[in-house]
């Protein structure tokens, strides 16, 4: 199915039959991506006494119990409730699901022992574009991101200035292919999270951060229609399934 949208005074044709999925599926195994020092997720049949809820074990249904952490086990979308003392739900924060998005690819720069993304890099790559959502693909970009164990790896992250720039541009939804926009061990400062949400000065309650996406290399940088869907969890973060659609 094709639909026509109007954006910046021009008509855009979008083919909804050609989705580009940039999420990572949750798997109950060690092959799942894992961060934040927790074990792997599990997907196992319910067991009550000698009864196992699995058709191959004689039951009439497959009835699995899933245990996971949205922040640690794959693609997830979070709201400012991730860093606030008061409760904020991503299910309430995200009430629109289609956005004009820009996909960019960035090679993080060395800064001491870290790899970082700076405001200067973002300005150069965005070239004045001002999307509703920004998707950052980092280099190197290999399929190992779909199963990497990130704990104690000091992954690439956004400098505070870069997150502040994204906010100042009016970008409401930030997506990145790392476990966090912040340094793995930062003493709890969470500078990029705070800068993006402008917390606590002028908190952006409807803005979201999506982490641990995977954008394969065959998807070219450029403008897309983003469909950002989450599971309806009343929590600060939820598993999510961001989908891109190319403009025709």
What are the tens digits of pLDDT across the range 79-129? Answer: 999 999 999 999 999 999 999 999 999 999 999 999 999 999 999 999 889
Q: CA–CA distance from 163 to each of 68, 172, 178 (Å)?
A: 28, 11, 14
* CATH of 2-34+70-246 among 3.10.20.600, 3.50.30.50, 3.30.300.130, 1.10.357.10: 3.50.30.50
**Would the pLDDT of 8 be above 80?**
no
Domain ranges of the chain: 2-34+70-246
| Chain position carrying tokens 């917390």 | 199
Mean pLDDT of 233-246: 98
**Would the pLDDT of 74 be above 80?**
yes
pLDDT band with cut points at 50, 70 and 90 for residue 1:
confident
Mean pLDDT of 213-234: 97
pLDDT at position 238, please? 98
Q: CA–CA distance from 132 to each of 11, 108, 141, 156 (Å)?
A: 17, 23, 24, 23
pLDDT at position 31, please? 94
Report percent pLDDT > 90 for the chain.
92
Report percent pLDDT > 70 for the chain.
100
Burial call 212-227: b when 16+ CB within 10 Å, e when fewer: bbbbeeebeeebbbbb
Other CB atoms closer than 10 Å to residue 121's CB: what's the count? Answer: 20
**Would the pLDDT of 77 be above 90?**
yes
Q: Is omega for the bond preceding 200 within 30 degrees of 0, making it cis?
A: yes
pLDDT at position 203, please? 98
Distance (Å, rounded) from C-alpha 98 to C-alpha 132? Answer: 10
pLDDT at position 232, please? 97
pLDDT at position 120, please? 97
Tokens for 148? 């990497």
pLDDT band with cut points at 50, 70 and 90 for residue 197:
very high
pLDDT band with cut points at 50, 70 and 90 for residue 4:
confident
176: nearest Cα among 234, 136, 218, 222? 136
Mean pLDDT of 216-236: 97
């Amino acid at each position: 199915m094709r639909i026509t949208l109007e954006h910046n005074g021009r008509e855009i044709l979008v083919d909804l039959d050609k989705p580009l999925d940039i999420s990572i599926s949750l798997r109950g195994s060690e092959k799942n991506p894992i961060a934040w020092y927790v074990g792997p997720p599990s997907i196992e049949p319910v067991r009550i006494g000698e009864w196992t809820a699995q058709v191959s074990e004689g039951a009439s249904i497959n009835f699995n119990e899933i245990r996971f952490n949205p922040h640690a086990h794959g693609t997830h979308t979070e709201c400012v409730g991730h860093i606030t003392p008061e409760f904020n739900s991503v299910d309430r924060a995200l009430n629109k699901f289609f956005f004009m998005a820009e996909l960019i690819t960035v090679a993080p720069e060395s800064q001491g022992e870290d790899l970082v993304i700076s405001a200067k890099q973002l300005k150069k790559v965005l070239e004045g574009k001002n999307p509703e959502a920004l998707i950052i693909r980092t280099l190197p970009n290999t399929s190992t991101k779909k199963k990497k164990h990130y704990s104690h790896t000091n992954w690439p992250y956004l400098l505070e200035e870069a997150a502040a720039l994204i906010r100042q541009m009016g970008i409401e939804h930030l997506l990145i292919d790392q476990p966090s926009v912040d340094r793995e061990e930062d003493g709890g400062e969470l500078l990029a999270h705070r800068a993006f949400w402008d917390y606590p000065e002028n908190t952006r309650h409807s803005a979201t951060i999506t982490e641990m996406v995977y954008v394969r290399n065959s998807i070219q940088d450029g403008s897309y229609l983003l469909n950002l869907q989450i599971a309806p969890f009343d929590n600060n973060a939820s598993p999510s399934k961001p989908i891109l659609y190319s403009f025709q």
